[in-house]
Structure 1
Amino acid sequence: MNSTMTALRPGFRRGMIELRQTFTNGQDLFGQFFWPAIMIVVMLFLRDNQFEGVPLNVASFALPSVLGMNIGFTGLTYLAQLLTVEREDGTLLRAKAVPNGMSGYLIGKIVTVSGITLIGVLIILIPGVILFDGLALNSVGSWLTFAWVTLLGLVATLPIGAVIGSLMKSPRSLGLIMLPLMGLVGVSGIFFPLSSLPEWLQIVAQILPIYWLGLGMRSAMLPDQAVMIEIGESWRHLETLGVLGVWAIVGLTLAPMVLRRMARRESGSSVAARREKALQRVG
């Protein structure tokens, strides 16, 4: 039995314990519901705005887009945040000292972040379906599309999040990537069709996974007429599969190498040095 299979059970158990702790802690629970609540309120203000020539309001267009954004943004940033925080406090070093500890640690984090992401999707999806008209998530094909876009989106973004977290020197460094990521989200066609943006911004957005997650979710949840406001008037399922698949392959190739490199550099002295720097900043 290889090391990954040996680490699978304890890693999964660890991830489920952390997931349960997240949703039984008041502060974490507030954080999980605050962002979805803000998104629902924003969409409520947009539901009276209609797209010209399409029987669809802006809120119904935005709901699946927000779900795709939530999957992509959480996958890219949440795992990165956990890795940087737990590297600084010594959790990673303790995991490294246990046989197959790093594999179990990573599996646990993937389970935790995947669970948080999926629950976050449900928190937005359930009230959204009740509040907003014009959705078409009413067939087996729609739900199958919803499922494969969600799963492929997680596979495409979680490994990249692990790479980002491995390269960041401290939790404070994450601020350097948050603003660019928020800017990229803003041009990914979340609240308006990407076709309304300048061509060069369309090209930038289509390189990244968040746009394709939003497009895939819209193809699952919106009526056929809504495709008229998309680029090429097509849901482009093959392109969605291809782009997200490429990101998944890149992430799954890079993440193990970068994580092994990070683990080799971890030591008691490096943890102590980071802790000393943190104490100096507080002082």
Structure 2
Amino acid sequence: MNATTHAVKLGLARGWIEFRHSLTSSTDMYFNAFVAVAFVVVLYFQREVKLPGTDVSLAAATLPSMLALLVAVGGLVGTVGTLAVEREDGTLLRAKAMPHGMTGYLIGRIVSTSTAGLVTLVIVLVAGLILVPSMLGTGLGGWLMFAWVIVLGLLATLPLGAIVGSLTSNPQAAAGFSMLTIGALTSTSGIFYPITSMPEWLQVVSQIFPLYWLGLGMRSAFLPDSAVAAEIGQSWRFFETTGVLALWAVAGLLLAPPILRRMAKRESGSLVQERRERAMQRVS
């Protein structure tokens, strides 16, 4: 077994162990439960409201967008925050010392973050299907599209989160930077209102980033064909959705490891100790 294969296996094992530990963490579970409950409450109050000019409930239109946002937030914000914490506590420094350690670290982060995010997503999906029973009629093609978009969405956003996280120096800066990034993308991606209502130049910019395509893919999986009238070109654009998300995934997986390695080269025991002392001062 060569060093790269060994690093991949260690990364997969590390990711699964971290996910199991997160299930026993009260902080992680409370946060996931809070997010799920907040989304479900919104769906509950929207279940009887119809979209103007259609027989589609507002809850049915909102649920796919919520699922897309959960994938993006879990992939981007979750990875940025964890990377900042593990940079501060010396985890990255230890990974740097192992052959292909940064590759294994990135794979472990992808596995643990994606599996943890899927727990919240499943909770919201199940509750949404109960509140919006019409969506239970989604055919096999819709469910396959749903699964396909989740896989591509996570692969597109998780490495991006690692790249963004490498630009921050502490967990506080990471949290602010990642929330600013996801907020800007959400507000311009057509996740919660039709992108066709935006200026054309903003529509073009939004289509560069993966969040728009995540939302489009989720809507194509669950919404009736009549809802496509609100989309660009009045089309679900399956091939474009797959192509753009796949392009972000490939680019991220190629760029993230060397960027993380470059960041790790600057790490040292003295820097880790200095960050720990600053963290202790913040706590006290």
Q: Is the pair's TM-score, using the shorter chain for normalization, greater than 0.5? A: yes
Deviations 1:63-101 (A, max 9, x none): 011101111121111111111101101111122233443
Measure, in 1, the Cα distance between the counterparts of 2:83 and 2:132.
37
* Residue in 1 that maps onto 2:197: 196
8 Å contact from structure 2 (residues 47, 131) kept in 1:
no
Aligned to 1:12: 12
Greater shift, 65-74 or 43-52, is seen at 43-52
Q: CA deviation at 1:124?
A: 0.8
Identity %: 52
RMSD after superposition: 1.8
1: CA distance between counterparts of 2:135 and 2:202?
Answer: 28
Which ranges in structure 2 are unaligned for 5 or more consecutive residues?
none
Q: Matches of 2:168 and 2:197 in 1, distance apart?
A: 35
Question: What secondary structure is seen at the aligned counterpart in 2 of 1:52?
Answer: coil
Corresponding residue of 2:106: 106
Counterpart in the other structure of 2:237: 236
TM-score normalised to the size of structure 2?
Answer: 0.93
C-alpha separation between the residues in 2 aligned to 1:187 and 1:107? 30
Aligned to 1:160: 160
Residues 178 and 87 from structure 1, CA distance in 2 versus in 1: closer, same or farther, beyond 3 angstroms? same
Which residue of 2 is the match for residue 142 of structure 1? 142
Q: Tell me the SS of whatever aligns to 2:193.
A: coil
Retained in 2: the 8 A contact 1:194–1:230?
yes
Aligned to 2:24: 24
Deviation of residue 2 (structure 1)? 3.1
| Aligned counterparts of 2:80 and 2:250: Cα–Cα separation in 1 | 18
Q: Which amino acid aligns with 1:234?
A: S
Normalization by structure 1: what TM-score? 0.93
CA contact (8 A) 1:95 1:102 kept: yes
1:54 aligns with 2:54: yes
Structure 2 letter corresponding to 1:160: L
* SS of alignment partner, residue 207 of structure 2: helix
In 2, the alpha carbon distance for the partners of 1:200 and 1:59 equals 29
After TM superposition, give the deviation of residue 35 of structure 1 in Å. 0.7
198-207 vs 267-276, greater mean Cα deviation: 198-207
Residues 122/77 of structure 1: CA separation in 2 closer, same or farther (3 Å cut): same
What is the CA–CA distance in structure 2 between the aligned matches of 1:281 and 1:217, rounded to whole Å?
41
| Preserved CA contact (<8 Å) 1:56 1:134 | no
Decide whether the 8 Å contact of 2:159 with 2:252 is kept in 1.
yes
Question: Bigger CA drift: 202-211 or 115-124?
Answer: 202-211
Q: Helix, strand or coil for the counterpart of 2:110?
A: helix
Distance 2:101 2:232 in 1: 46
Q: Is the 8 A contact 1:55 1:225 kept in 2?
A: no
> Is residue 37 from structure 1 mapped to residue 34 from structure 2 by the alignment?
no
1:136, 1:222 within 8 Å by CA — same for their partners in 2? no
Q: Are positions 1:221 and 2:222 aligned together? A: yes
Question: Which residue identity lines up with residue 171 of structure 2 in the other structure?
Answer: P
CA contact (8 A) 2:7 2:103 kept: yes
